[in-house]
Amino acid sequence: MQCALRLEKSVNQSLLDLHQLASEKSDAHLCHFLQSHCLNHQVEFIKELGDHITTLHKMGTPEVGMAEYLFDKLTLGDSDKKN
């Protein structure tokens, strides 16, 4: 999950760089699109991943194998039922 967080932060930084370039080139449409459809969602997802990582650490993972199983079942839900 920490790798996913690093990847999301990298994607977010790339989007911020693109937004900066669009701003410098006075491309208001691209700036608006990035803000409304990409950047806000990225920030929310990064926070959610960070919260999950904090919860896992509080539960004692990776030292406690059962903690990760319980986290998956209680927090992420049972994905098998969705398929």
Would you list which residues are annotated within the binding site for Fe cation?
A: 8, 42
Q: Residue 81 corresponds to which tokens in the numbers above? A: 């039922």
Cβ atoms 67, 83 nearer than 8 A: no
Report which of 9, 8, 39 is spatially closest to residue 22, judged by C-alpha positions: 39
DSSP summary character for residue 27? -
Neighbours of 59 (CB within 10 A): 16
Binding-site positions read 8, 42
